[in-house]
């Protein structure tokens, strides 16, 4: 029975000029992931990775840990469709409807009154925006829609499934939104708001596993 491991990348550099770069903590998280996998003697027959720096750097550090322990990872296959959605960039460009703008302004006002709420409220603002965007309540010119993102993720999943042979272990290094979409496809979830919200419960360097006979039924 084949098994697919979907890994979320390690912590990126939130607030930095280059968000896509792993933070020092993210590098440590990647190393711990590599140690865990190596200690469990988990061997992979194929590795897929998205095109983003944070996805590939996470894999690179895991690969180094494997190498240090005389374990070998296969040469990764880069799948552009494993890229994260454009929500982070879109939040900075969108002209928000009044109802959405009001909610975000209230959260921003709380930050101004109590700077200690900055991190919490910033995350709440981002989560609220993503959920509204996923439901189609916001469109951002110049960025792919949530629907297009979901279609690309399904294409990536289909590519991976077609490349998977009997009794193989497959490692996929990607992002939280992508993993949320894959879980939603596997479970036939119809509520896009819940799919988008799931992203925020998938931790850095966590992994979700699927057995091939089950997930293969969706295509």
What structural domains does the chain harbor? 3-85+146-218 (3.40.50.1240), 88-134 (no CATH)
Task: Supply the Cα-derived Rg of the chain in whole angstroms.
Answer: 18
**180 alpha carbon, distance to own chain's centre:** 7
**Nearest-10 crossing angle of helices 176-187, 146-163:** 70
**Strand pairing report for 3-8 and 169-174:** parallel
DSSP 137: S
pLDDT at 99: 62
Question: Where are the strands (E) in 14-117, listed by range?
Answer: 46-49, 77-78
pLDDT at 213: 64
Sheet holding 46-49, edge to edge: 77-78, 46-49, 169-174, 3-8, 207-211
Rounded to whole angstroms, the Cα distance separating 31 from 11 reads: 12
Asked if 14 contacts 204 with a C-beta cutoff of 8 angstroms, the reply is: no
Helix (H, G, I), strand (E, B) or coil at 45: coil
How is residue 211 written in tokens? 């057995």
Nearest to 12 by CA among 4, 3, 21: 21
pLDDT at 111: 84
pLDDT at 62: 99
pLDDT at 216: 55
Longest dimension (CA), the chain: 58
Q: How many residues does the chain have?
A: 219
List of the chain residues with pLDDT < 70: 15, 92-100, 213-219
List, in order, residues 6 or more apart from 52 with CB less than 8 Å away: 9, 20, 83, 84, 175
Rounded to whole angstroms, the Cα distance separating 146 from 181 reads: 10
pLDDT at 37: 98
DSSP 173: E
pLDDT at 95: 58
């Amino acid at each position: 029975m084949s098994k697919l491991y979907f890994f979320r990348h390690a912590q990126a550099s939130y607030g930095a000029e280059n968000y896509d770069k792993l933070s020092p903590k993210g590098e440590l998280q990647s190393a711990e992931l590599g140690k865990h996998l190596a200690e469990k003697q988990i061997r992979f027959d194929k590795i897929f990775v998205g095109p983003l720096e944070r996805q590939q750097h996470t894999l690179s550090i895991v690969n180094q840990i494997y190498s240090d322990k005389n374990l070998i990872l296969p040469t990764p296959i880069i799948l552009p469709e494993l890229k994260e959605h454009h929500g982070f960039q879109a939040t900075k460009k969108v002209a928000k409807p009044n109802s959405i703008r009001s909610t975000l302004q209230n959260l921003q006002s709380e930050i101004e009154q109590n700077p200690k709420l900055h991190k919490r409220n910033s995350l709440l603002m981002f989560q609220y925006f993503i959920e509204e965007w996923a439901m189609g309540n916001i469109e951002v010119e110049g960025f792919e829609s949530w629907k297009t993102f979901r279609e690309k993720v399904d294409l990536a999943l289909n590519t991976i499934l077609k490349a998977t042979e009997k009794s193989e272990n497959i490692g996929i290094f990607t992002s939280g939104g992508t993993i949320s979409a894959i879980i939603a496809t596997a479970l036939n979830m119809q509520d896009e708001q819940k799919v988008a919200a799931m992203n925020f419960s998938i931790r850095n360097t966590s992994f979700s596993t699927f057995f091939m006979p089950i997930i293969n039924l969706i295509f």
